[in-house]
Amino acid sequence: MPGKNPVYNLPNQLTILRILIIPVIFFLLFFKKEIYGTYAAVFFAIAMLTDFIDGYIARKKKIVTTFGIFLDPIADKLLVVTVLVMLIPLHRIPVWIVVIIIVREIFVMGLRAIASEKGVIIPAGKEGKWKTTFQMLGIFFLLIYYTHFNINFGKIGFILILLSILFSLISSYKYIKKVSNVIFIP
C-alpha cells in the first residue's frame, strides 16, 4: 500500500511537488508580459516554501529517508538552474553569472561525491546557507523584475545574486579545504 511506504512521506511529497512546479515556472517564462513573471515568482515562492518545510518536517518528525536525501538537492538544483537559464533570454541575468552558479554547483556536488566515497559527509556550512538564501531571494526578485512600489526588483535581484556568488565562492573554498584532507590521505 503506497501510504505505508516511507518514500511517500510528507517531506518527500513536498520535494516531488517542488519538481512538478518547475515546468509551470518554465512555461510561464515563455510569455513576455510582466504579469507572467509575477505568476512565476509566486510559484517559485511556493517551491522555496516546500524546500524549507520538507526539511523541517523530516528533521522534526525524524522521517529522513535515503530517497529524500537523494532527491531534495536534485530538486533544488533543477529549480535554480531551470529558472536562471530561462531568465537569460529575458535579459534579466547575464550568461556569465548563470555559468558561474552552475559550474559551482557541479563542482561542489563532485567534491561531496568524492568525500562521500571516502565515508565523509560534508554538511552545508553557514556560507552555503547564506548562498542559498541570497540566491533564492535574488531569483524571486529577478522573476518579478520590474519596478513596483518604487522598488526596482531587477536591481535588487541582481545584487542578491552577486552576494550569493560571493558566498558560493567562500563556501567552495571551504569545501575544497575539507575535501583536500580526504582526497590526499592514502
Residues 96 and 180 both lie in one domain: yes
The set of cell numbers assigned to 180 is 583536500
Of 20, 17, 34, 24, give the one whose Cα is nearest residue 142. Answer: 34
Is residue 179, in this structure, part of any structural domain at all? yes
Same domain (yes/no): 30, 108:
no
Domain range enclosing 49: 1-68
Q: Which regions in the chain score pLDDT beneath 70?
A: 1-6, 182-186
60 & 100 share domain: no
Grid coordinates given for 168: 558560493
45/101 same-domain check? no
Domain contains 86: no
Distances 119 to 86, 90, 166, 183 between C-alpha atoms, Å:
37, 43, 29, 11
On whether both 34 and 111 belong to a single domain, the answer is: no
Is residue 78 within 8 A of residue 47, CB to CB? The reply is: no
Q: Residues 51, 118: one domain?
A: no
Does 39 fall in a domain? yes
Answer yes or no: is 106 within a domain: yes
Query: Does 77 map to a domain?
Result: no
Same-domain check for residues 136 and 51: no
Q: Specify the pTM.
A: 0.86
Domain count, the chain: 2
Q: Tell me, yes or no, whether 185 and 125 share the same domain.
A: yes
